[in-house]
């Protein structure tokens, strides 16, 4: 099976991984034993065609997913001072838990195979760090053999499990930054596609949930995600139908309600910083943002520019989030961004995608939505 065929099949079977594979440029090369990902000059999936095209259909798909999972969890950049052999095994344990039995190679490192050899249960669906700690604490360690391109586990019965080494070696700061940017983009895409894979969705949320990212990045993601598609003409892209005619550039626009808590917990400086960031992101994303002030009631929603011109506070009582959600429902805003300290009653559920931007020490007043801490 060719890499292209494997990608098409993944788009049908496991659409998140298929979409992730499409985001990479494929490159056949004999310089890698199996597969690897390179970030410069652009994200590229390297693969050895002699090895890859000799795989079965499901094993070929599993090989792509295996490499993508190492990328998603940034295993190459998280080893630190850990033992490289044990770290390689721990990373493969974490990755292979997300592959089906028919996608894994016969000699893959799995919880089942390692547990059978040790005569004990290996915990499932852990991260690489947790597996490393678990393996390092074993009274009877695994029999590891350091190969040129792989780490082999020699089992008591004489058979072997194999964990391919990362061929890139120690990554540079530039590579790490490029990898993190790519992974952040891929993780964003997983919010819908990974729903059919609960274990993967949980793992990605643990690694890349909004609480682990800066508030500016989270805000940008919310305002650029799943909006309406607005076609505009651009000469930077040539028309596919007519010579010397402008092509179409599609911008994603999203309607959002921005609710500012004026109960007294947010300073004027914090508000100015926050509004400036929202305005900058709104221009980039093509989003339509209306803003409202609230304490126990809400002001009429106005454009962001109109709201920013009126810096004088008009409210200052207690805090009640329920009128904010009622306003969002009445005006059919799909996205609600609430800038608050989080202290006050909120509805039990919401039909909007909600982002709680909380001041230091604040807690989200409801279990739904995403929360992130505002830092000036």
pLDDT at 234: 46
Separation CA 334–CA 1 (nearest Å): 43
Residues 5-27 have a mean pLDDT of 90
Which range is least confidently modeled, 227-241, 289-303, 352-366? 227-241
CA-angle at 208, arms to 183 and 40, nearest 5°: 15
Query: 22-36, 76-90, 205-219, 288-302 — which is least confidently predicted?
Result: 205-219
Residue 298 has pLDDT above 80, yes or no: yes
- The predicted model gives 167-190 an average pLDDT of 68
Select from 289, 352, 286 the least CA-distant residue to 324: 352
User: Phi, psi at residue 189, to the nearest 5°?
Assistant: -65, -25
Q: Distance between CA atoms of 129 and 91, rounded to whole angstroms?
A: 8
**Model confidence, pTM:** 0.59
Q: Is the pLDDT of residue 226 over 50?
A: no
**Residues above pLDDT 90, as percent of the chain:** 40
Residue 208: predicted pLDDT: 62
**Could you identify the residue written with the tokens 């949320």?**
205
Q: Which CATH superfamily is domain 218-373 in?
A: von Willebrand factor, type A domain (3.40.50.410)
- If pLDDT is split at 50, 70 and 90, which confidence band does 224 have? low
* Torsion of the alpha carbons at 69, 71, 77 and 81, rounded to the nearest 10: 30
| SS3 category, 309 | helix
Domain positions in the chain: 3-164, 218-373
Q: Is the pLDDT of residue 120 over 60?
A: yes
Q: What CA–CA distance (Å, rounded) separates 44 from 296?
A: 52
Mean pLDDT across the chain: 82
pLDDT digits (tens, 9 = 90+) for 61-96: 999 999 999 988 888 888 888 999 999 999 999 999
pLDDT number for residue 83: 93
Confidence of residue 126 (pLDDT cuts 50, 70, 90): confident
Residues 6+ apart with CB under 8 A from 310: none
């Amino acid at each position: 099976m060719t890499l292209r065929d494997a990608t098409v099949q993944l788009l049908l079977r496991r659409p998140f991984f298929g979409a992730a594979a499409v985001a990479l440029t494929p490159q056949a090369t004999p310089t890698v034993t199996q597969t690897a990902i390179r970030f410069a000059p652009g994200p590229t999936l390297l693969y050895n065609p002699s090895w890859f095209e000799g795989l079965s259909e499901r094993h070929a798909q599993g090989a792509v997913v295996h490499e993508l999972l190492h990328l998603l969890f940034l295993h190459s950049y998280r080893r630190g001072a850990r033992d490289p052999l044990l770290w390689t095994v721990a990373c493969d344990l974490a990755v292979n838990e997300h592959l089906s039995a028919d996608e894994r190679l016969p000699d893959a490192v799995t919880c089942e195979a390692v547990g059978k050899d040790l005569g004990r249960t290996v915990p499932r669906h852990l991260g690489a760090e947790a597996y490393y700690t678990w393996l390092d604490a074993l009274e009877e360690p695994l029999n590891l053999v350091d190969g040129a391109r792989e780490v082999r586990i020699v089992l008591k019965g004489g058979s072997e499990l194999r964990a391919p080494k990362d061929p890139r070696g120690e990554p540079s700061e530039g590579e790490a930054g490029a990898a993190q940017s790519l992974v952040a983009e891929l993780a964003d895409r997983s919010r819908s596609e990974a729903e059919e894979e609960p274990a993967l969705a949980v793992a990605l949320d643990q690694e890349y949930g909004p609480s682990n990212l800066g508030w500016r990045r989270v805000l940008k993601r919310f305002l650029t995600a799943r909006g309406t598609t607005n076609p505009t003409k651009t000469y930077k892209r040539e028309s596919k139908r007519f010579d010397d005619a402008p092509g179409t550039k599609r911008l994603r626009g999203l309607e959002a309600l921005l609710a500012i808590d004026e109960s007294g917990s947010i300073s004027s400086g914090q508000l100015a910083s926050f509004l400036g960031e929202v305005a900058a992101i709104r221009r980039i994303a093509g989003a339509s943002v209306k803003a409202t002030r609230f304490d126990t009631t809400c002001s009429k929603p106005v454009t962001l520019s109109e709201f920013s011109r009126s810096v004088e506070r008009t409210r200052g009582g207690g805090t009640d989030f329920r009128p904010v959600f009622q306003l969002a429902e009445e005006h059919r805003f799909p996205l609600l961004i609430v800038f608050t300290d989080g202290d006050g009653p909120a509805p039990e559920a919401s039909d909007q995608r909600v982002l709680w931007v909380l001041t230091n020490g604040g807690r989200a007043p409801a279990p739904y939505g995403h929360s992130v801490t505002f830092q000036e």
